[in-house]
């Protein structure tokens, strides 16, 4: 994706895609005005979407964009993009090698939404399948339901022909779990309140020591795409909060929280503290703000303000009285405008973007200054 030849190829693909959209004008005659704009195709994702390649040549956003301009269904494209990260053992926040729960078991969550078809699917607490995003899409395609969980989700995946593996840990994820276990349970049992706090603090200490990347403590990848035909789709997939209580489900597989797509308006997805996002259903809120005319950045900032206002428990506040955690949103409207916003940012906080000019990282815009725990 980065070379001149590839760039020329992609531009040619965009023109072909646009021509196909014109040739198929009759099929899209009823499309809302917002989707008749001259927007060019674009794919956005959380920062890991333009970093990990699983030994291949393309990142998530590059692969998704390549498929989009080649005429692929927009959801197939973004799911294929996140599959790269789900399968990459170097990313410990999703899929194979994702940081496990408190019992050392990798449990995965995902959901996807198809703008044109106005359909969605999701799975939660799924064990044994490296690519939960594909199982979520199978729920959308093959059932009348939006969400399957736990053992039922695994049984469904097996019935759909997915390989079920006994253990999705890598040596690295298992080693990190053992280190966490050693820190929080040296005497086997603790007072319940002290244990909960010890668990969280042990995880943050491992982040501070560089054992766990900050973004991987909460995990997740979100990817949203706009096709040459003006079609929107999105997917979010995660291994969830590192060392979570077994069975814990965050925002990632929940429609309106970890992901929301309206094919006439836009798409939004998230990473970070899922509980804060669930309380406010912020991805849905962001899309509704865009429906009323807000830009992606402004819509995202309004959602972050809602999270800040709703965070009143002392245990969730830092010394400044602000949230001691982070939440990020990745936002794309039907005109191809996009933004990445977060409660807190920094010089390394980015989101990935791919257009006809290739892939690049863009800075995340913060609502608050400083750091969550400073």
Instruction: Catalogue the E-assigned strands of the chain.
Output: 42-46, 108-114, 119-126, 147-149, 221-226, 232-238, 259-262, 266-272, 327-333, 338-342, 350-355, 358-363, 365-366
Catalytic member of 220, 237, 271, 355: 220
- Find, among 155, 161, 88, the residue nearest to 127 by Cα: 155
- Find, among 248, 261, 340, 218, the residue nearest to 79 by Cα: 261
Q: How far from chain centre, in Å, is Cα 285?
A: 17
Instruction: Write down how long the chain is.
Output: 374
Q: Which two tokens stand for residue 271?
A: 């990473």
The C-alpha atoms of residue 291 and residue 281 are separated, in whole angstroms, by 16
Residue 355: active-site member: no
Q: Which two tokens stand for residue 200?
A: 């969280």
Instruction: Catalogue the E-assigned strands of 134-277.
Output: 147-149, 221-226, 232-238, 259-262, 266-272
Q: Catalytic residue positions?
A: 220
């Amino acid at each position: 994706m980065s070379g001149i030849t590839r760039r020329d190829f992609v531009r040619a693909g965009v023109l072909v895609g646009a021509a196909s959209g014109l040739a198929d004008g009759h099929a899209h005659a009823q499309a809302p005005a917002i989707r008749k704009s001259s927007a060019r195709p674009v794919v956005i994702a959380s920062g890991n979407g333009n970093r990990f390649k699983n030994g291949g040549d393309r990142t998530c956003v590059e692969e998704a964009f390549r498929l989009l301009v080649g005429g692929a269904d927009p959801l197939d494209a973004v799911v294929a993009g996140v599959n790269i990260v789900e399968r990459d053992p170097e990313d410990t926040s999703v899929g194979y090698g994702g940081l496990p729960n408190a019992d050392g078991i990798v449990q995965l969550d995902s959901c996807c939404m198809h703008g044109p078809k106005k359909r969605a699917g999701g799975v939660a607490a799924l064990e044994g399948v490296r690519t939960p995003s594909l199982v979520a899409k199978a729920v959308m395609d093959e059932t009348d339901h939006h969400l399957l969980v736990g053992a039922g989700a695994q049984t469904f995946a097996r019935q759909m022909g997915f390989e079920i593996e006994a253990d999705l840990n890598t040596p690295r994820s298992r080693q990190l779990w053992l280190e966490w276990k050693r820190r929080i349970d040296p005497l086997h049992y603790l007072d319940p309140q002290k244990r909960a706090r010890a668990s969280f603090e042990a995880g943050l200490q491992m982040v501070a020591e560089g054992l766990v990347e900050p973004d991987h403590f909460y995990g997740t990848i979100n990817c949203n795409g706009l096709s040459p035909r003006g079609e929107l789709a999105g997917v979010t997939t995660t291994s969830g909060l590192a060392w979570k209580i077994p069975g814990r489900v965050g925002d990632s597989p929940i429609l309106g929280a970890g992901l929301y797509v309206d094919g006439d308006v836009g798409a939004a997805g998230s990473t970070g503290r899922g509980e804060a996002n669930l309380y406010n259903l912020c991805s849905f809120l962001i899309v509704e703000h865009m429906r009323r005319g807000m830009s992606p950045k402004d819509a995202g900032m309004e959602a972050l303000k809602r999270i800040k206002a709703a965070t009143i428990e002392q245990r969730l506040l830092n010394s400044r009285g602000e949230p001691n955690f982070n939440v990020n949103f990745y936002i794309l409207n039907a005109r191809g405008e996009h933004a990445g916003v977060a409660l807190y940012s920094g010089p390394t906080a980015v989101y990935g973007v791919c257009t006809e000019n290739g892939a690049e990282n863009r800075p995340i815009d913060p609502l608050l200054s400083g750091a969550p725990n400073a």
